[in-house]
Structures are given as structure tokens and as C-alpha cells.
Amino acid sequence: MTMAKTMEPTRRSSSMKRTRRWQTALHYLILTVVALFFFLPVYYLIVGSFRPSSEVLSGLSGFVPTNLSFDNYAGVFDHLNSDATGYFGQFALVSIIVTTAVVAGSLIVNSMAAYSFARMKWRGKKVLFLLVIILTIIPFEAVALPLYYMFSGQRDTVVIQAIPFIANAFSIFLFYTFFLDVPGEIEEAARLDGAGPFRTFFQVIVPITKPAFATVAILTFLAQWGSYLWPVLMVSDPTARPLPLAISIFQNQQPPEWGQVLAFGTMFIVPVLAVFLIFQRWFVASISSSAIKG
Amino acid sequence: MTIPKSRRTAGIIAAAAAVSVAALSLTGCGGPDTGNAGPSVEAGSGEGTINVWAVDGQAAENDALKKIISNFETSQNKIKVNLKLFPSDQYTKAVNSAAPGDLPDVLDFDGPTLASFVYNGKMAPLKGSVSGETLSNQTDSIKAQNTVDGAVYGVGMMNAGLALWGNKKLLDSAGVTYPTTPEEAWTAEEFTGVLDKLAAVVPGGKPLDLSEQYGFAGEWGTCCSAGPVIWSGGGTMLKDNKAVGALDSDANVKSLTTLASWKKYTDPNADGLAFPNGRVALSWVGHWTYPTYKALGSDLVSIPLPNFGKGTKTASGTFAWGMGATSKNGTASGKFLDFLMSDESVRIYTDANGAPPATKTALSASSLYGPGKQLQLLGDQLSKACGPEEQITETCVSVTRPVTAGYPIVTDQVGKAEAAIYSGKDAKEALSAAARAIDQNFADNDGYRK
Amino acid sequence: MTTQTQKIPSPAAAPAKRQSSAILTGHRFAGPLFASPALIGLAIFLVAPFVLAVVLSFYRVQLNSPRPARFIGFEQYTRLFTDPDLSAAFGQALLNNFTFALIVVPVQTVLALGLAVLVNRKLRGMVVFRTFIFMPLVFPLALTAVIWRLIYSRGDEGLLNAILGLFSGGALSSHDWLGSPSTALGSIIVMSIWQSVSFQMIIVLAALQSVPTELYEAASLDRANKWQQFINVTVPGIRNTLIFVALITTIFSFRLFDQVYLLSRSGSVDRGSTETVMTQIINTGFDNNNVGQAAAMTVIFMLIITVIAIIQRAAVRQRGGV
């Protein structure tokens, strides 16, 4: 990721240099096309959010930044202006609370379980760990319906949006692979210092396995922030509504307020995008380590 | 592996199973508490706060509703209203998923879902809570929609009307003359010819808007797109509570195939602006676009939907208001409903969305509906009510959607079939599959009889 | 652990006989204690609902209905396999899932590899290109579906149609990407790839960078050209990673829900051509309120996923992989 120039050997035939240059130009061309494919929808979202709804769907001119204004943003806040409709800030807060709770809870609970499986000796451990491994293949979607059936009494609460996602078999597995690599001498030293299992774990192990925590935090965050299926089933009340459920309000207008949909979407994604740009290096590192460990 | 170890394994699995069983019993495996005790509304003190649920609709509708509520709160000082709005795609699910005890005192509901809500014990009859005047002031078609097993469960501020909105300038430039009364409606063949002519004068060559953006696979398809086509072609969705032999009839196959043949003339209208921007000459949609469409001024004309053989047909019925089955404040809720149905409230609301008023006095005072007024056609269509499907005649126009607790499966399957046919699937196949699915569901529920 | 041949003793009676672990003297309960919050969570929110799905699949039960559940044995299953409509619809949904997997797994794995190779060169401005490629990763599917719905919009005002019209000089235009059965699933596939391929790319990129440079040097001494180096050094070097990528993509393919649910309920889309098992389960359970049948579908779906996972694990192990 550094900007370092490739080292050009000084003595080369000019024809080789020319091929080189052609190759590089071609490389840039392909890169540009590819980057456009990934970036154009993002650009379209952001530019569209500043344009009148009537011009969002207008062929190629949808890309042209004309008639820019904050009207769509004003429109979103204007629509969500009372307790009856709920507020944008309220939906965002629900999303933030739920995501934070899941990320924090899953870091604590799953790392402890993984540590226990990786480093402690106790009866039944092997069988239970095998069960956990088996559970990694059950997708949440497959149990959504019976889970709804079990907890329909807790509809419209913030807690029920978070709690089913805290314990996660795959996160346990990821932590497990990291903890296996911790040298035994470190724990031994902690034990000789008189540390119990809690102190050993939280004061000795956690600090030296930070990358594991970053990985699980980022993967959990990505899965949770846009969570859609479970809230659709469990939430209707504006006080417990997370951001993804509110998008359709603007789509249902007459005529559809596509500009407001995009403005809402932009506000939904830009903070995440900003965090992502700042921590891009970590993002990449943690995703790659999930594969190497997994 | 030694024997003792595996025995221990068995013990652990048993323990895990015990945990899950305990979890089940803790959370009440019975699922949503449907409360078999039956609806019981308490009259209550007649004051305090009442909870109200409604659809988060068009911005203008929301504002009108809030205005009415604030008028209500200033008109008296004993009852406060706590309003909650839900996105329309999630509203019916919200009511469906709520246990009767969690429902609010007053709630909005879509006409055809009422029978299923009543069947599931979610609604309370209004007699005794709402005044006799309010009930007798309801127009007949709305009263019919809100009556289940002889009891009235809802009152409505508005009805719904469907039409082909026409752009007079474009129609004239194509030399198309258009009908203005239901009796003169274009036949389906004539309509195809009209589309051919119009295709030449509109910019994109697609002169028709069928409101595709609402999604045929939802309520729009059943109520307002496939429904009128089916009824106008002499078919029905159900006959004697069965769909096989009704929905899959040859008449329906023919009508819906004709509808699908117009896809090539149809603008997808994803931006909802095809008509006001002049991309299309004809727009098949409901009254609710009037506030947007009226920008065309005197170029806006309303035309009956095409006649597929048995006269033009539209759907009647729309969102109305009822009471949650276990309201503890029936008197106050009734007072609020009375206020909602007052001429002033109905005027504010229907001005906001262009709907035909559903109370007799407000309808006669309407500035849009009635002889010589701009939306006369929509009002006339509603007054020529057919009642439910089985009573359709050639001359009646507005049809009430099937009143059955099994409506959710009917609308799901009819909408899905229409979308499939429209995208090119064989109509007979799609309709037969839908009919069998509906009948299977009815059979599973003993025909939704009590 | 195998020393006790008698009845399982109560935990209190055991300590004297057991060698305390080297690591945790005097903390016999620490292990289970550490593991229990997660295990209880998994038991309540994953195991119990699955058990409940099995139970419900033997009943005729409607959502939120006053009718009591009625035990009907295996009827839901026999219906799913013998009723011509149901089995056709369920089969179609399964087929859509498999088609999706069959296309997405190889395509996305190859694309991930191609992209990783593309961005693995040290060129000026590469950071910017990479950032653009990563961006969709943070997009929730609920938002992605809305944006792509607009892009795929039928008629000339849709972005994709407009772009194609421009490049083909107007010859190609106005295709109904989501509405026509032949392109509906393909459109969803492209959208899914847009959203998630950079995840796989990052994984492959990390693997690429861990291939020892000496291998390339040796290869170039053998006068292997770039392509030969790629086939003979790069691909074998990252084989395990590619298998891992294919594995997680397969699992994603079967979980397909959000984008299909959101896109197939818009416009004039024919649901049959895009329905997946997951959307069908939700449709059956929540739109048709038929909980019993949705539960039976869940159970079958789980069995299929389990079989696939077992086959994959076995295949990987046989090749000496992960």
C-alpha cells in the first residue's frame, strides 16, 4: 500500500522499457474500469442524495451533479419529525446501541469460551467444542422463524435485537485458533505470580491477542450494522426501529422520494465509510487473518 | 474411546438438550399468546391517553392526521392521543404479530385484512363505543367493507377510486377520443388500438403507466391491477370459498394475458413521474395521485379502466379505523373515532390525498367528487357498487375484495401470479398453481370457519 | 479423563481423585464457567429454535391464529415432496440457490483472485484504487438493494440501460433486468458480487503476499514467463486460501436472503425466478402464516446445508488442505 515506485533497473533496452510502459498503462486502464464498477453506485448514491427526486432516475444524467441542494436531507428530517414517526437520530441510536452491544458482548463472551476450549482442561470440553464447530454451519436465517416464535413476546425491544447475536460459534472458532498460538510459558508465569484464571485471561492473554479481538469486532460489526431479517420480524414500533427498516418509508411516498431514499442511505453509510477509510489497514488485516486462521 | 467416556458424552448431550428444552418452556413454546378469551373492551373512564397506530403514509396524509389529532386535543382536554406510524410495507405484519393485548386502542387497517384480524381476535366491534350518528353516516360500500359476520368493526374517512388518468393534450394529438362514463369504457381490443396510436406521440414510445412501481406481487396487484381485470372479464378470485374453478378460469387466463400483452407499451414508472412529466398519456392508478397529477390542470382527465367483457370494474375499499380487541378505554376511543369521522376531519384528510370521502355528509360537500366536478367519474364508479365478487353484474362498477379471514393467502397468491404472468409466464399455469395453493391453505384452516 | 469406570460421580466428590490441571490449580470450575455464557447463548438462540423447528414441522400450525396446533406427523414433509405445486416451488427455490452457488462460487473466487493480482502491484495511486474496490464491503444489503434497484430500472431512465445504450449506440436499451425471468437471478448475482467480492479479494491478497519471493526468483531463472509463474507458483501457493474462499462463498450462497427479499418484491418482478429457500421460508411463515410448513422447509434446508458442509470438509481434508 505504500506509494513507493517500482525499482527500475537502470540498464534496459528501450524496447523492454516501452513494453513495460504499455503494460503499466494497460494495468491502469483495467484498474480504472474495475474501480469505476465498484465506485459508480457509491457515487450515484451520494450525488443522487443532493439532487431532486425527479432527476435521480434520468439515465446517464443521473451522474451529473446539477441542481444540488440539501432539500432531500431536509425532507428526511421533515418527515421524521415527531414521536409518531420516530426520528432519524432515534433510529441511528437504536442501530448504534444494538451494534455496540453485539460487538462488545460477542468479544467478551466468545473469547472467554474460546479460551476455555483452547487452554483449560475440563470434563466434556471436547464434546462441547465439537458441538460448537458443528453449530458454525447453521446460518441464523435458518432458525429465524422458530426464534421469532419463541420470542414474539419480546417484540419491539432493543434487547431482543441484540441478544441472539452475541454468542457466535464462528467467533468462538476464530478466537480459538488465535489462543492456540499463545505460548504456554506466558500463562505459567502468570500462574506463578498467583493470578487466577480471570486475571490471567483479562490481564495477560487479552492484551497479547488484540488482533483477534480486532478481527472479531470488525466482522461482527459488518454483519450487524445492516442487519435486516431479524428486525423485520421483530420490530415495528418506531422507538425500537433500526436504520435499515426506515428506508422503505421514503420509497412508499407518492411519487417515490428517491432523492430522500438516497439521502437517508447516505447518512446511513457515510459515518461507516469514514470509519472504514480511517481504519482501512486494520480492516484489511483483520479480514485476511480471519482467513489464515479460519 | 472407552465406554465410560461415551457415557459421559451422553450425559452432556442430555444436559444440552435439557438446556434447550428449558429455554423453550421459559419462553413459552406456545408462541404468540393469541388469547382465546375473546375480545373484551372496557368502557374505561372516558379520559386519559389512547394509543393509536396508523400507516406512515404520504407526507401530506401524515400531516393531515397530525392536524386532526391536534384539533381533537384542543377541542377537549380529557383525552390525549399517542400516535405511532409504521412504514406501510411493515404495517400489516405489525398488527399480525402483535398479541391482542399489545394492540393499541385505535388502529388503522386495510379493508380486506379486517376479516382476518377479526378471526384472529384482534378487533373489537364498534357498537356501543362509536355514536350511532357516525355509523349511519358511513357510505354503503365502506360500511359493507367494515362489517364482518353482521358486526361493524371499522369506520372510514375515505374510500378509494381507480381510473385511467389521461393527458388530454397527448390524447388529442394522437387523435384519440376517450370515454368519460363507465358505460362507454374502451374494450380491451379498442384499448390496444389506442395504445398503438398513443405510442407514436409520446417521447419514449411507451404511452401507458400501470403503476408497476408498487409491485404487482403485493396488495396493489390484487386490489387494483389484477382484481379489476379479473372482475371485468367476468371472472372471480373465489367461488364458494374455493379458488380452483374460479381463479384459474379461462376468462381470467384471457384477461390477464391481455393485460400482460400491454407490457410493451408500459413505462415502468420507477420514479412515479411518468404521467406528470408527460412520458405517458395514460396512467392506471388510484385517487392518491391526484394531488400530484392535478398540476396538469385542465389537461387532466379521468377515464374508466378498460372493459374486458363484462363492463369496467374497479376495487372499492381502503384503509379504515377500528378498535383493538382489548382496549381499556373504549369510551375515549369511540370519541376519537367520532371526531375522525366529523366532516371537518374527513375534509382535511381527503383534501390531503384526493380520496373520495367515505361519509355521506362529507361526500355531498366534496369539492372534487359529485356531478360536474373533476373527479366525478371516480365518485360515480363507487356509487355503482357491486358488493362482493359473486354479485357482479355488467352495470355495476366497484367491487369489494373477498371478505374472508383467508384473504392474506388470496392476495399473496393472486399478486404473485399476476407478476409471473406479466413477466411472461403461462397464465393458465400460474393461475392454477395459485388457485391450488389458496385452496390448500383454506383446507388447512377448515375454510376459516369459526 | 478415562480413569472413572464407576457411575458418574457428583462433581463435589471428584476433586481428590483428579490431577489438578497444570494451568489452573484450584480453579476447577473456571473452564465451564468461562465457556458457559457463550454455550448458554448458543443453546437458547441456535439449538433450541432448531429443536423447535423440528417439533413445529410435525404440526399444522398457523401464525397468530386462534386455532390450536394439530399434530399431523410427517404430512408437511410428504407434501413438500409429493404435492406437485409445493414440490415444484420448493424445488425451484432450491434450484435457484444451487444455480446461484454454481455461478457465484467459481466466478467470485476467480474474480477475487483476478482483483487481488490486479491490486497487488506497487503502482502510484494504488491506495486510491484499492479503497474504491473495498468500499461496497461496508454497504448493508438493505441499502445495496435500493441502489441497485434504481440501477436496474427498466426503461431508458435506468442507469444500466442508459450506459448500455450509450456504448451500443442505442442498439441495446430498455431491458427489464429484474423483471424478465432470464436475467433476474443474474442481476442479483452481479449485485451480490459487487457487494462482497472485495472481502474475498482481501483474503486472496494476503495469501498472495505470503507466497515466498524466492519461488518467483527461482521460476524466472527457469525462464518461466509471467503466466507460467502464475500457474506454477502463485496458484499452488495460495491453493488452500482459494479453497477457503470457495467454502465461505458457498455458505453465503445458501444463506441468500436480504437482496432477494428486497428486490423480488419491487416492480413487476416474477418471484418464482428469484425465490430462494430462505425467502420462501419467510414467505410461507409470515405472509401465508403457515408456520408448520415453513418449519419443515427449515429442517430440510438444514439437512442439505449439513450434507454440503460435510462433503466440503471431507473434500478439503482429502486434498490435505485446511
Q: Which range (B309-323, B393-407, C197-211, C257-271) has the least confidence?
A: C257-271
A140 and C49 Cβ atoms separated by less than 8 Å: no
Of the pLDDT bands very low, low, confident and very high (cuts 50, 70, 90), residue C249 is confident
Average pLDDT over residues A80-88: 93
Query: What local confidence, expressed as pLDDT, does residue B73 receive?
Result: 96
Nearest to A84 among B9, B58, B66 (CB): B66
- CB neighbours of A235 closer than 8 A, spacing ≥ 6? A155, A156, A161, A241, A242, A245
Cα dihedral C145→C150→C151→C152 (10° resolution):
80
Instruction: Give the residue extent of every domain in chain C.
Output: 74-318
CA–CA min distance B310, chain A (Å): 31
Cβ <8 Å between A284 and C202: yes
Query: What local confidence, expressed as pLDDT, does residue C225 receive?
Result: 84
Please write down the HEC assignment for all residues of chain B.
Answer: CCHHHHHHHHHHHHHHHHHHHHHHHHCCCCCCCCCCCCCCCCCCCCCEEEEEEEEECCHHHHHHHHHHHHHHHHHCCCEEEEEEEEEHHHHHHHHHHCCHHHCCCEEEEEHHHHHHHHHCCCEECCECCECHHHHHCECHHHHHHCEECCEECEECCECCCEEEEEEHHHHHHCCCCCCCCHHHCCEHHHHHHHHHHHHCCCCCCCCEECCHHHCCCCHHHHHHHHHHHHHHCCCCCCECCECCCCCCCHHHHHHHHHHHHHHHHEECCCCCCCCCCCCCCEEEEEHHHHHHHHHHHHHEEEECCCECCCCCCEEECCEEEEEECCCCCHHHHHHHHHHHCCHHHHHHHHHHHCCCECEHHHHHCCCCCCCCCCCHHHHHHHHCEEEEHHHCCCCCCEEECCCCCCHHHHHHHHHHHHHHHHCCCCHHHHHHHHHHHHHHHHHHCHHHCC
For the sheet containing B398-400, what is the strand order?
B314-316, B398-400, B385-388
CA–CA min distance B87, chain A (Å): 5
Which regions of chain B carry the CATH code 3.40.190.10? 48-160+317-366, 162-315+387-448
Of the pLDDT bands very low, low, confident and very high (cuts 50, 70, 90), residue A287 is confident
Could you tell me which CATH number the domain at B162-315+387-448 has? 3.40.190.10
Helix (H) or strand (E) holding C288: none
Cβ <8 Å between C270 and B409: no
Cis-peptide into A255, omega within 30 deg: yes
pLDDT in tens, B342-372: 999 999 999 999 999 999 999 999 999 989 8
Partner A contacted by C37 (CB < 8 A): yes
Of the pLDDT bands very low, low, confident and very high (cuts 50, 70, 90), residue A292 is low
Query: What local confidence, expressed as pLDDT, does residue C322 receive?
Result: 40
Cβ <8 Å between B62 and A79: yes
Helix (H, G, I), strand (E, B) or coil at A11: coil
Nearest to B423 among C4, C43, C179 (CB): C179
Percent of residues, chain C, with pLDDT higher than 90: 33
CA–CA min distance B235, chain A (Å): 31
pLDDT > 90? residue C21: no
| Paired residues of B148 in beta bridges | B151
pLDDT in tens, A204-220: 999 999 888 988 998 89
Of the pLDDT bands very low, low, confident and very high (cuts 50, 70, 90), residue B266 is very high
- CB neighbours of B438 closer than 8 A, spacing ≥ 6? B238, B243, B247, B406, B409, B410, B413
Query: What local confidence, expressed as pLDDT, does residue B127 receive?
Result: 92
Average pLDDT over residues B61-65: 94
Average pLDDT over residues B206-223: 91
pLDDT > 60? residue B2: no
pLDDT > 50? residue C24: no
Give contacts of B277 with chain A, Cβ < 8 Å: 54
Partner C contacted by A52 (CB < 8 A): no
Average pLDDT over residues B420-445: 93
What is the average pLDDT value for chain B, to the nearest integer?
Answer: 89
pLDDT in tens, B269-294: 888 899 999 999 999 999 999 999 99
Of the pLDDT bands very low, low, confident and very high (cuts 50, 70, 90), residue B235 is very high
Query: What local confidence, expressed as pLDDT, does residue B333 receive?
Result: 96
- Round to whole Å and give the CA distance between B349 and B347: 5
DSSP C14: -
Give the chain C residue nearest B2 (alpha carbons). Answer: C2
Give contacts of C62 with chain B, Cβ < 8 Å: 444-445
Partner B contacted by A155 (CB < 8 A): yes
pLDDT > 50? residue C119: yes
Give the chain A residue nearest C208 (alpha carbons). Answer: A288
Helix (H, G, I), strand (E, B) or coil at A117: helix
Q: To probe the interface with A, which of B86, B277, B293, B318 has the most A CB atoms within 10 Å?
A: B86
Neighbours of B180 (CB within 10 A): 16
CA–CA min distance B346, chain C (Å): 32
Q: Which three cell numbers stand for residue B408?
A: 392474506
Cβ <8 Å between A252 and B272: no
Average pLDDT over residues C42-55: 95
Query: What local confidence, expressed as pLDDT, does residue C268 receive?
Result: 67
Helix (H, G, I), strand (E, B) or coil at C59: strand
Q: How many residues does chain A have?
A: 294
Give the chain B residue nearest C68 (alpha carbons). Answer: B30
C293 and C80 Cβ atoms separated by less than 8 Å: yes
Could you tell me which CATH number the domain at C74-318 has? 1.10.3720.10
Higher pLDDT, B305 or A141: B305
Query: What local confidence, expressed as pLDDT, does residue A1 receive?
Result: 38
| Among the four given CATH numbers 3.20.20.70, 3.20.10.10, 3.40.190.10, 3.90.600.10, the one describing domain B48-160+317-366 | 3.40.190.10
CA–CA min distance A47, chain B (Å): 17
Cα dihedral C24→C25→C26→C30 (10° resolution):
10
